[in-house]
Chains A and B, each alone.
Chain A
Amino acid sequence: MKNNKVIQVEGLTKMFGDFTAVNAITFDVEKGEIFGFLGANGAGKTTAMKMLIGISNPTAGKASVAGFDVFTNAEDIKKNIGYMSQKFALYDDLTVKENSMFFGGIYGLSRKRIKEKSDALIEELGLEKVASKLVGALPLGWKQKLSFSVSLIHDPKIVFLDEPTGGVDPITRRQFWEMIYKTANQGTTVFVTTHYMDEAEYCDRVSIMVNGKIEALDTPKNLKEQFKVANMNDVFLKLARSPSPALPKGKGAERKNTFQN
């Protein structure tokens, strides 16, 4: 195992009864990389991500995150990753400060460290004026930036972002991606799922999941060349035109072949 591979996945599979939600996916993510994890709704990306962050047991395959095995060391993984979920998930009835203190606390940071980190985070986001206001009163864009900062409070090696920019305006999205870049530059690996194809362009590499399988994985530039299209949106459309899981499995495979000509 090379040291700079922070996520290694091989043949990872998740079955729910007869239904294969994630079908033998294989990929690596390198340290400090921004890895885009794309796919239509129901393609299996959330399920795959849940296996990587240790809240869902894989059915088969191998995976290690931050050097720990997802089967045997899920608890160690949890200490080394940050996670921001699709839903905005801070406590609305706690203040900005109380939220950051609480999450620092559950990651076992020392009192002093929690205070340092939460002060730094509030300053960095320019939230000094509202630090003692309830989070529920903040606009969604601020909440999401705060949520991201809070997921980084324990300096994780990898941060998993599940559709972090849903529902926010373009300016906030831009600012959010600046935060992501900054985080990656400091050496934290960013694993991000998104629906916005312009955001896919910002990633170092992207994978696209269709019907539980990874159908494409490369840099945005290479993918566009491979599919002979001008932007990621068209790459995605070509791959995932009818990604309904109800689709017979054979059809998806056929389509893949035609694309790879």
Chain B
Amino acid sequence: MKRFIGFIKKEFYHIFRDKRSLFILFGMPIAQILLFGFAITNEINNVDIAILDHSKDATTQEIIHKIGASKYFSIKQIVIREADIASVFEKGHVKAVLNFEKNFGKNLIKDHKATIQIITDATDPNTANTISNYVNAMLMKYQKELNKDITIAYQIIPETRMVYNPELKSVYMFVPGVMTIILMLVSAMMTSISITREKELGTMEILLVSPLKPFQVIIGKVFPYIFLSIINAVVIVMLSIFIFKMPVHGSLFLLALETVLFIISALALGILISTISETQQSAMMISLMGLMLPVILLSGFIFPISSMPFPLQVISNIIPAKWFIIIIKGIMLKGVGIQFIWKETLILLGMTVFCIALSVKKYKIRLE
């Protein structure tokens, strides 16, 4: 036990004397969560649009006014000719052009039908989509106002309710993802780097020649990172609760347990990486390519798994992060208990045991 404490102490000296690892450990989580929370958002605000009004009647004026007055759009430009639309987009500021047909108001009253063309800059498809949805919604609303005295024979009125995140805040989606990335980064990458560092420096050999057993060396190396990862998880959850007002509907205790399980699975991956890489450089590359990219791309953090091609959906199953994200979204947003996430928990547990067993085996082979 005394040896163990000495070892841990040494490990903390390493961590606290290295500015880079300090930054990754403490600067990164805060920076990431704030970035994702504030800067990266799927919502639109004050998007610049342009108007091409062939009709210039009371109706079009009213619609234009309504759109311009909303907080989503600001009208930057009035286009005169059809031919100018291309050049408006080329300048890049304007993301959409609304093109009212000739005699818009007259057609609406006489034929009960008028056309407006919504042209969006789809270099950014997500924004383009959102813009067209927003404009559509505003037109529908206007149309409803016009029709308020008339009864329409058949009418389907969809009433949409967004449960668990009624305001569609993107931060609700990012917090679980960022937490997963950070824990992966700290636990897997930092441990694999710190173990390979000892190999690279030759101190690992000295430790193996000492009476310490290999598993004691490994536990001594990963223990500080378990501790730091837990601190990180707490910081992230606090930030999301107090700054982004993200609710935690489920049990905090269950959240903590699941997080520790995920940390251990990430550590096991880190140990596994350190058994196959000889240098810090390669440990870092393997961690980034083999862990970070799949976590970001395939875990369902940003891109929904259900819309991925089938092979990728299959691959996503072997990524521990996928299961962890399902678990924490369940606990934080839906407030579910273990009875709804025991399957995911079991999968995560199985993966952890597998990784630990594999790295123990690899470690033994290496010592031959």
CB of A89 within 8 A of CB of B13, answer no
Q: Mark B253-287, 1 if CB is under 8 A from A, else 0.
A: 00000000000000000000000000000000000
A197 within 8 A of B: no
Report chain A residues within 8 Å CB of B206.
Answer: 83, 85, 89, 103
Which chain B residues (326-361) contact chain A, with CB distance < 8 Å? none
Known: A56-B368, A106-B212. A89 touches B6 (CB 8 A): no
Contacting residue for A102 out of B10, B209, B211, CB 8 A? B10
B110 within 8 A of A: no
CB of B210 within 8 A of CB of A93, answer no
Query: How far does the alpha carbon of A103 sit from the alpha carbon of B9 in the complex, in Å?
Result: 12
CB of B203 within 8 A of CB of A91, answer yes
Pairs A–B under 8 Å by Cβ, sample size 22:
A55-B208, A55-B209, A78-B210, A81-B209, A83-B205, A89-B201, A91-B10, A92-B201, A93-B13, A93-B14, A93-B17, A94-B14, A101-B6, A102-B9, A103-B206, A105-B2, A105-B3, A105-B7, A106-B207, A106-B210, A107-B210, A107-B211
Report chain A residues within 8 Å CB of B7.
Answer: 102, 105-106
B309 within 8 A of A: no
Contacting residue for B13 out of A56, A57, A85, A98, CB 8 A? A98
CB of B209 within 8 A of CB of A94, answer no
**In the complex, given contacts A79-B211, A83-B206, A89-B202, what are 16 additional A-B residue pairs having Cβ atoms less than 8 angstroms apart?**
A53-B209, A55-B367, A75-B213, A78-B209, A85-B202, A89-B203, A93-B18, A94-B13, A101-B6, A102-B9, A105-B2, A106-B207, A106-B212, A107-B211, A111-B2, A134-B17
Query: How far does the alpha carbon of A79 sit from the alpha carbon of B211 in the complex, in Å?
Result: 6
Report chain A residues within 8 Å CB of B211.
Answer: 75, 78-79, 106-108
Chain B positions within 8 Å of A, measured between CB atoms, are 2-3, 6-7, 9-10, 13-14, 17-18, 201-203, 205-213, 367-368
A75 nearest in chain B by CB position: B211
Nearest Cβ on chain A to B96's Cβ, whole angstroms = 56
Known: A55-B205, A88-B202. A102 touches B17 (CB 8 A): no
CB of A106 within 8 A of CB of B14, answer no
Nearest Cβ on chain B to A90's Cβ, whole angstroms = 7
A53 nearest in chain B by CB position: B209
B220 nearest in chain A by CB position: A106
B214 nearest in chain A by CB position: A55
